[in-house]
Amino acid sequence: MERPQNSVVRTPPNSTAVQRRSKSKSYRQSYRSCLGAASRLGLTPGLTARRLNSSRRALKSHIITEKVNPDHLALLVKREWRLSYITPLHQFRHTQLKRYSRQLSAFIAAEKQQGVAVEVEGSQSGFRVSFSVVQGLAATDDDAETVLIQIFSRPVFAKQDEPQKSVWSGWLTCINGNPEYLQSLPKGFTSLPLFGGSGAEVLTSLVKSWFQQTFDCCFGPLEINHTSLQWLAALWTNCHTESNLQHLKMIWTLPVVPPLQITYTINPQDAWELWMSVRKDRLEKTEDEEEAGSIDIEEVMRFVQGLKSHFYRHFRLDLSAGNLNQVSTALGSAKFSGKIKISNSRYMITTLTLLTECALLKMPV
């Protein structure tokens, strides 16, 4: 396929542009059309009612330590990742990872030559890049396998056995992605819509540039909006009986002068009892285990509303006037700016499913 001469890659504003690339007649549906939403022309969907439309979410704690390499898991948990969304990658092969490692390594070296400041530490270190597949995370057959990227610094005068220091790591993943959408992708495209990076910002942007050049994709910042943050608060609270939450902490900012930050930390047992009381009606009515395992958005809303009204009773301040910036528990923490930390591997699948959905919804195509 022909690459554009300039290095600027723009996401096609509507799906007809995509049609040009693929050989097949049918063209890829935009994600929103899969949901039955109308707009194909709009660059941004204005369909706030349809955001995160799966209001039912099956909840399972997955013991994934058996399925996934524990070394990989150790790299993924307890670290804070900055999230982005990625449009589908063209001609990405999971079998070519060694070649990609060499190419990215060379790319970073070339950029360094050109004067991009990639010194992380030491003036003479080179970089060694390693791409690997994290087997076992993909939840369905449609999900592409998660790819993990690590960049090690390679000091010029390193001894043979010296352990190499990892200066940057990142991953691309798709967990429980919408099957209709994934199946409608034309041949040659792989969708790994969620990207997380941790390390020097310079390296993150270099990795992104390389991906954009090599696979004709587009990156964009992914914020975790307040609905998703509330989902995470509820999902994590739901797990209190299995793994101790230690606390449920939510941070709001009120738009006054000077800005006021409110940190609301709730005892985990009390938070859990409130959550259970909200779920009680639902659980009593249904016998079906499948139903009982899934959570509705209304329950999440009522849970958070309960917390807000308790706050209001004492302080006469409605937290809805502010912005929810952060939710954190012992199981993980999530920030509005798009940073996530998963502290317990058990809930990784659930959390990543939610984030994959956010990424797919945020993508402009």
Q: What is the DSSP letter of 199?
A: E
Instruction: Give the one residue of 259, 285, 291, 293 binding other proteins; rule: CB under 8 A.
Output: 259
Residue closer to other proteins (CB basis): 177 or 268: 268
Q: Is 297 in the site for other proteins (CB under 8 A)?
A: no
Q: Which stretch binds other proteins (CB under 8 A): 55-63, 118-126, 199-207, 261-269?
A: 261-269
Smallest separation, CB 325 to other proteins (Å) = 12
- For residue 335, the cross-strand partners are 326, 339
Q: Is 311 in the site for other proteins (CB under 8 A)?
A: yes
Nearest to 262 by CA among 338, 324, 334: 324
Q: Which stretch binds other proteins (CB under 8 A): 161-169, 271-279, 289-297, 335-343?
A: 271-279
Nearest to 23 by CA among 86, 90, 88, 87: 90
Nearest to 174 by CA among 362, 363, 354, 365: 354
Instruction: Give the one residue of 97, 306, 323, 365 binding other proteins; rule: CB under 8 A.
Output: 306
* Amino acid (one-letter) located at 3: R
Q: Is 256 in the site for other proteins (CB under 8 A)?
A: yes
Instruction: Give the one residue of 114, 258, 284, 287 binding other proteins; rule: CB under 8 A.
Output: 258
* Amino acid (one-letter) located at 342: I
Instruction: Give the one residue of 91, 241, 263, 286 binding other proteins; rule: CB under 8 A.
Output: 263
- C-alpha 146/C-alpha 234 separation (Å) is 26
Smallest separation, CB 326 to other proteins (Å) = 13
Q: Which stretch binds other proteins (CB under 8 A): 83-91, 94-102, 263-271, 334-342?
A: 263-271
Contact between 26 and 14 (Cβ < 8 Å): no
Instruction: Give the one residue of 91, 265, 286, 337 binding other proteins; rule: CB under 8 A.
Output: 265
Q: What is the DSSP letter of 125?
A: -
Smallest separation, CB 360 to other proteins (Å) = 34
Smallest separation, CB 274 to other proteins (Å) = 6
Smallest separation, CB 225 to other proteins (Å) = 21
Instruction: Give the one residue of 35, 192, 229, 274 binding other proteins; rule: CB under 8 A.
Output: 274
Smallest separation, CB 352 to other proteins (Å) = 29
Nearest to 329 by CA among 265, 284, 273, 270: 265
- C-alpha 263/C-alpha 257 separation (Å) is 18
Q: Is 309 in the site for other proteins (CB under 8 A)?
A: yes
- C-alpha 328/C-alpha 69 separation (Å) is 26
Residue closer to other proteins (CB basis): 63 or 256: 256
Instruction: Give the one residue of 24, 267, 286, 337 binding other proteins; rule: CB under 8 A.
Output: 267
Nearest to 343 by CA among 69, 54, 79: 79
Q: Is 179 in the site for other proteins (CB under 8 A)?
A: no
- For residue 127, the cross-strand partners are 153
Instruction: Give the one residue of 261, 286, 291, 298 binding other proteins; rule: CB under 8 A.
Output: 261
Question: What's CA 56's distance to the chain center, in Å?
Answer: 19
Residues contacting residue 10 through CB under 8 Å, at least 6 positions apart: 218
Give the interface size with other proteins as a residue count (CB under 8 A).
31
Nearest to 88 by CA among 201, 182, 209, 223: 182
Q: Which stretch binds other proteins (CB under 8 A): 26-34, 56-64, 194-202, 314-322?
A: 314-322
For residue 294, count CB atoms less than 10 angstroms from its CB and return exposed for 0-12, middle for 13-18, buried for 19 or more: middle
Interface pattern 317-356 for other proteins (x via CB under 8 A):
xx--x-----------------------------------
Residue closer to other proteins (CB basis): 77 or 262: 262
Q: What is the DSSP letter of 26?
A: S
Q: List interacting residues with other proteins (CB under 8 A).
A: 254, 256-267, 270, 273-274, 277-278, 280, 302, 306, 309-311, 313-318, 321
